[in-house]
Structure 1
């Protein structure tokens, strides 16, 4: 061995130190691996991470009031609403100047819509006032207090200014409070009026019905998966086609078919009347309620339960049951003590899949649920497309995401996510 090898670093074939050469090779290997998964990472970032981040931000974002009424917000900061007196002339002057700019930019209606979520009637105040304020001059027409009150009496009510002051911050917990049937007020969080307390009830209904749908899928899917796993391959493949057949049909068509079947003049009621189980005057009400939603969603989500259970059951050797019976176990004992525990991972995988799909479902409850069978996802869609209260929709979505993660964590602690298998 040479002196260079004995006293110096070990060299690679190209003369560079072996340690540096190995580090470079390892770095190139990691870079190559990263380049291979880069398209998937970018796709997940764009379609999953960024939208969730935007939802979380929008659930607390409240820039509209501060951006549209900057002078008013600054003037209201020094006003003490607890005195019971209207704001001073400086606040009205700042508000008029802000409104002149907002009306010309056509932003006052958006501001009115935003504040109308907190106090009913403010939206019409902003629209009516905007038509008059548009003609005002910020110098010649001052002072503005009496003029604003003449335009609309609401500007002479202290509650209006308290609402603007309360919701002038750029970050607000108000949407989350609204999502749990509360509201942000100058005196702190308070419960919504009883006739508006519907969101917590919707959350509870969504969770309970999703659990019922998951349980129904387990009860109906387990025998089907067992039959598929124990039939000869040719027969099992034929039945698997029947299980997968709903995937080849539009979700809207399947849901509409259930609406036709479940209605009072539908196929099921006609059959029940024909065989004499019910009279024509007392047909069953199976649509536009929770029952209709559960039936339709169980049918739609059933394949998502069957496939994981079937893939796990396929891996269970039939010799286990025969060995248990040869040792004296009855059929039921062999099933519950030997076979069923081995299928629990498949049940867990199917349950998680079905429950997460059910809790966020929208189309089926909207069509067959009526007013009593809708989920919280339908309310989220309403605030996005109809009321345009995107902040509340984002808060509801964030709470729904948190509930799913919490239940997932509880499942991991109780059952263990490592015991979940897809085959």
Structure 2
């Protein structure tokens, strides 16, 4: 008690003692030592930070930036870009735009950039590449006084408004076109945003399919992993360590090897169907591969250890005293388990669900090997755009939405399963 009768806060006594001891002139030296220690710690961590920025953050940022970049026409044909910027968008542009197009085709053909421009325009309209290549060949040796009738004579499509509208959109950077295409939308000739034809819409369904598969895999891992984690946490240490080997061993095996093993097990003539036929359980091979069933089985098997370890790490720190106390007060064992034990393990459940769901969102190898034509996940479409179509802009847009979905799930996870919101009972 102090003289005024108030009780001093114990948590403030060490700080007050340190401040009183340092007021004699050592306070500034103590602060300098603290700053020096902080700088030394930062310098020690600096190589790791630089490595992460160079190998992780920068590549991801570069890919995401491509979702709004449109450099092909703008960089290869600057005169045409300027002429299209001055065009009001009605009818067909004037002679200046046609002359700039002819000059741009020649310059890009000489510099080797015409292929990039043609590939970019082909994303808007499939026959645009042939139009540009044909026009570039025809105008290579021509020097007319007026280019407009010459180009229209080479191909009547140069006299159409839609052709020049697409060129004008391709010359704008940054552009929302990739982000719109990634959700099966486009800009119509009147400037409004509309959906693409139903036979061309694939990305929205792929996003829904990816989220559905990830959610089902997360649920399966939770249902299978929670009992295993409980068993490992409640067994004696010697037995628990032995069983833990079965959880850890899959990490020592390549992901491709594990997926290929399921490929062998699930095929019509594989081990599982052979056993089912031999014991008379089925009379025809069960389709377990090249469909959604194979994808769920393979992804659940591969991601299950992550769920078990996340829940086990929390269960190991839960004291059994609370459950025994609830039972001693008259609670049924099931009621004590549900109302006392499970709430204490929710942080592990939330961490495991978040980890498994996020990993499942970006899975590629397992769906590609075990899934069918209707089971493509968004990661497979991103790989196709980068490796086959060379459409890095659309790949960046798909990746951008995938990052947004991950961030949304993380926000929901924090709101619903945040540690600060957990309560017993």
Q: Does 1:289 align with 2:291?
A: yes
- CA–CA separation in structure 2 for the residues paired with 1:276 and 1:419: 52
- What is the match of residue 121 of structure 1? 127
Q: CA deviation at 1:76?
A: 2.2
- What is the match of residue 237 of structure 1? 241
Contact 1:62 1:169 survives alignment (8 Å): yes
The correspondence of residues 90-239 of structure 1 with structure 2, limited to 5 A, is 90-136=96-142, 140-188=143-191, 189-239=193-243
- What is the match of residue 32 of structure 2? 24
Structure 1 residues 211-220 or 33-42, which shifts more? Answer: 33-42
Q: After superposition, what is the alpha-carbon deviation per residue over 1:364-400, rounded to whole angstroms, capped at 9, x for unaligned?
A: 1111112122211111111011101100110110111
Contact 1:345 1:419 survives alignment (8 Å): no
Query: RMSD in angstroms over aligned alpha carbons?
Result: 2.1
Q: CA deviation at 1:55?
A: 2.4
Q: After superposition, what is the alpha-carbon deviation per residue over 1:162-213, rounded to whole angstroms, capped at 9, x for unaligned?
A: 1101221121011000011001344222211111111011111111110110
Contact 2:346 2:417 survives alignment (8 Å): no
- CA–CA separation in structure 1 for the residues paired with 2:71 and 2:356: 38
- What is the match of residue 401 of structure 1? 403
Show structure 2 runs of 5+ residues with no match. Answer: 1-21
TM-score, normalised relative to structure 1: 0.89
Q: CA deviation at 1:60?
A: 0.5
- What is the match of residue 412 of structure 1? 414
Contact 1:103 1:134 survives alignment (8 Å): no
Q: Does 1:304 align with 2:306?
A: yes
- CA–CA separation in structure 1 for the residues paired with 2:135 and 2:303: 52
- CA–CA separation in structure 1 for the residues paired with 2:141 and 2:419: 66
- CA–CA separation in structure 1 for the residues paired with 2:140 and 2:113: 12
- CA–CA separation in structure 2 for the residues paired with 1:408 and 1:108: 43
Contact 2:347 2:418 survives alignment (8 Å): no
Contact 1:366 1:378 survives alignment (8 Å): yes
| Cα 1:257/1:241, change in 2 over 3 Å | same
Q: Does 1:389 align with 2:394?
A: no
- What is the match of residue 47 of structure 1? 55
Q: CA deviation at 1:111?
A: 0.4
Alignment counterpart, residue 350 of structure 1, candidates 349, 352, 356: 352
- What is the match of residue 360 of structure 1? 362
Q: After superposition, what is the alpha-carbon deviation per residue over 1:108-155, rounded to whole angstroms, capped at 9, x for unaligned?
A: 11101101111121012222333333344xxx4443333323433432
Contact 1:93 1:142 survives alignment (8 Å): no
Contact 1:225 1:306 survives alignment (8 Å): yes
3-state SS, counterpart of residue 117 of structure 1: helix
- CA–CA separation in structure 1 for the residues paired with 2:318 and 2:281: 43
Q: After superposition, what is the alpha-carbon deviation per residue over 1:238-271, rounded to whole angstroms, capped at 9, x for unaligned?
A: 1111111111111111111111222222222222
3-state SS, counterpart of residue 279 of structure 1: coil
Contact 2:162 2:189 survives alignment (8 Å): no
Q: CA deviation at 1:19?
A: 6.0
- CA–CA separation in structure 2 for the residues paired with 1:418 and 1:122: 57
Q: CA deviation at 1:328?
A: 2.2
3-state SS, counterpart of residue 91 of structure 1: helix
Aligned residues: 399
- CA–CA separation in structure 1 for the residues paired with 2:152 and 2:404: 45
| Cα 1:369/1:417, change in 2 over 3 Å | farther
Q: CA deviation at 1:216?
A: 0.2
Q: CA deviation at 1:80?
A: 3.4
3-state SS, counterpart of residue 320 of structure 1: helix
Q: After superposition, what is the alpha-carbon deviation per residue over 1:78-132, rounded to whole angstroms, capped at 9, x for unaligned?
A: 33333x3x33222211111111110011111110110111112101222233333
Q: CA deviation at 1:64?
A: 1.3
Show structure 1 runs of 5+ residues with no match. Answer: 1-11
Alignment counterpart, residue 76 of structure 1, candidates 78, 84, 87: 84
Q: CA deviation at 1:18?
A: 5.5
| Cα 1:419/1:360, change in 2 over 3 Å | farther
- CA–CA separation in structure 1 for the residues paired with 2:318 and 2:351: 16
